[in-house]
């Protein structure tokens, strides 16, 4: 049984990921009464978390250039991100040189790297750097650059110059959204440019994206399916989009289907 505030947060995440949901659907998914869902939806609409409709709710449309903070994103779909990181770990070998993009799922992956005896990690993420700073078995290279407070990522010309000078075995890449027409997108121009340099520096590109990223479009495109070697996502990912990746020759790794926005 979920506490009220936790249930509301998960309902908001569920509606945001699906785009819309009926009262009956939410009641069944969260195992509460229809009246409880209606009361929750009323409260959440007043908080600006969603918009009520006749019989349910729809997601609030977000500005394509807006972006929640790292802390806000870390709390969303947390179990799915942990599962994706665990699956991605199997792609890393002793002695690899890898690059970790700045993101909440790549941060969870960084936490799992401490078991390696020899690893080189290049990152533009302050959170990843902090997590691995004391690991003597890991050679850590920071890109430098201008710090974005929203994502705690180092971006811009200094970061791009560093990234352009290295070659890595595998890049573990984050994205704010993906759809077939617009590709991989992010809200910030500098961050998009940094991600493009990362893709160009990697032999293999591993996209870590939970199901909420599918069908979302942000301001700037930085890549497409043709840039991705492997997609690691959770079992709730849109099946049609997963099939599109597979048809494009991308290896897809699916974790188990998780709960709604843990």
Domain 4-59 has CATH 1.20.58.220: no
Q: How many alpha carbons lie under 13 Å from residue 57 in its C-beta half-sphere?
A: 33
| Architecture, CATH, for domain 70-254 | 3-Layer(aba) Sandwich (3.40)
pLDDT (tens digit, 9 = 90+) per residue, 65-82? 556 666 666 667 889 999
Q: How many helices (H) and strands (E) does the chain have?
A: 10, 15
pTM: 0.75
The mean of the pLDDT values for the chain is 89
Q: What is the pLDDT of residues 97-140, one digit of tens each?
A: 999 999 999 999 999 999 999 999 999 999 999 999 999 999 99
Q: Specify the domain boundaries for CATH 1.10.10.10 within the chain.
A: 4-59
How many whole angstroms separate alpha carbon 58 and alpha carbon 30?
Answer: 17
Query: Which residues of the chain does CATH 3.40.50.1360 include?
Result: 70-254
Output the six-digit token pair for 37. Answer: 């869902």
> pLDDT band at 260, cuts 50/70/90?
very low
The percentage of the chain sitting over the pLDDT mark of 70, rounded to a whole number, equals 90
Highest mean pLDDT among 3-7, 157-161, 256-260: 157-161
Overall size of the chain counted in residues: 262
């Amino acid at each position: 049984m979920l506490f009220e505030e936790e249930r509301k947060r998960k309902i908001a995440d569920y509606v945001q990921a699906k785009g819309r949901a009926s009262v009956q659907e939410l009641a069944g998914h969260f195992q509460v009464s229809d009246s409880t869902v209606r009361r929750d939806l009323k409260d959440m609409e007043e908080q600006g978390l969603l918009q009520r409709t006749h019989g349910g709710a729809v997601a609030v449309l977000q500005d394509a250039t807006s972006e929640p903070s790292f802390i806000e994103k870390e709390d969303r779909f947390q179990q799915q991100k942990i599962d994706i990181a665990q699956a991605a770990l199997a792609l890393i070998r002793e002695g690899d040189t890898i690059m970790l993009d700045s993101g909440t799922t790549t941060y969870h992956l960084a936490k799992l790297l401490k078991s390696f005896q020899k690893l080189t990690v290049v990152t533009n993420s302050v959170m990843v750097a902090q997590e691995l700073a004391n690991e003597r078995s890991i050679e850590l290279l920071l890109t430098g650059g201008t710090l974005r407070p929203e994502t705690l990522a180092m971006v811009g010309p200094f970061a791009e110059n560093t990234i352009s000078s290295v070659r890595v075995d595998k890049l573990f890449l984050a994205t704010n959204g993906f759809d077939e027409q617009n590709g991989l997108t992010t809200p910030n121009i500098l961050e998009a440019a940094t991600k493009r340099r990362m893709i160009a520096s990697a032999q293999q590109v591993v996209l870590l994206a939970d199901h909420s990223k599918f069908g979302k479009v942000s301001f700037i495109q930085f890549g497409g399916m043709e840039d991705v070697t492997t997609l690691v996502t959770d079992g709730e990912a849109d099946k049609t989009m997963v099939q599109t990746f597979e048809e494009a020759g991308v290896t897809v790794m699916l974790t188990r289907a998780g709960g709604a926005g843990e």
